[in-house]
Amino acid sequence: MAKHLLNRAIVYEFGTKCTQYLPKPLLYGIGRIIADISFIFCKSSVKKITSNFETIFPDTSPKDIAKKTRQLFRNYAEYLVDYGRFSGLNKETLLHKIIHFDGENNLIDALNMKKGLILLTAHLGNWELGGIFFSAYGLKVNVLTLPDDDNEVDSSRSQYRKNYGVKTITVGDSPLSSISLVNALSNNEVLAMLIDRYRDDTDGIQVNLFNKPHKFPKGPFILSRITGAPIVVAFVVKENGQYKGLVEKPFIVTSENEERDLIEKVVRIFEKYIVQYADQWYDFR
């Protein structure tokens, strides 16, 4: 699938280097122009986002769907500007960018279990800021990712996380990766995973997402069952120009028979927040 203009290595390079020297309104303006160009010319990405909106909002007119799609591209451009602007900030300053936090007690309850933490999220809002935010609680955070089609984009994201003490683990890099994940949890570390774009057809469980079949990985739920680590669903989204954190109540998988029901539970949580922040669900693939 062809990439939209906003998901290219040159844009990430610009975002992390040049945004330190230009005023925010100008950066947002430049991003908006690039977003509008992407909306006009990147047909495959537009088609995917349009299809998502049609599924989420089946009674919405094509004209309004097109408006929502264009706005999502603009929001993603804003996200990339923020991604670049924040890269020069220390962790303490960056954490003040999240002005509101729904569910902090849920996070504290999970951390008090001292079993590590499995954090599940989607491509909703600013997931990179989320990983950095959770590292402020004094825990080592490991972000599990699938390899990007563009190695330069992968490298840029990994370096960005590394600057804030967040480790990137690319799933499939090593046959010993499963052991390293269990060890991380036993060391009371955080494993953060984006699970809304799962690609593996040989593993996983099929669950309906907005009434369409969608594969989700079993791995996080197996890890919880094996290690006793709690799972939380969390997001960092932008609302009225400010970021806020959202953390749901923790749960633990105690038996294999529970796995499907708990995956369903996670998907229903995803749906709830995707509906609320649909123009921040950056599911371009």
Q: How far apart are CA 34 and CA 182, in angstroms?
A: 42
CA distance 86 to 94: 7
Averaged pLDDT, groups of 10, the chain, 285 residues long: 57 66 88 92 93 96 97 93 79 76 91 94 89 74 74 70 78 65 91 84 83 92 95 95 93 95 97 97 89
How far apart, in Å, do the first and last CA atoms of the chain sit?
A: 8
Q: Is 91 helix (H, G, I), strand (E, B) or coil?
A: helix
* pTM for this entry: 0.89
What is the reported pLDDT for 89?
A: 73
- Closest Cα partner for 139 from 113, 116, 108? 116
Identity of the amino acid at 72: L
Joined tokens for residue 128:
């990179």
What is the distance between the alpha carbons of residues 147 and 245, in angstroms, rounded to a whole number? Answer: 26
Would you state the structure tokens that stand for residue 37, as one six-digit string? 């160009």
Cα gap 164→132, rounded to integer Å: 6
pLDDT at 15: 60
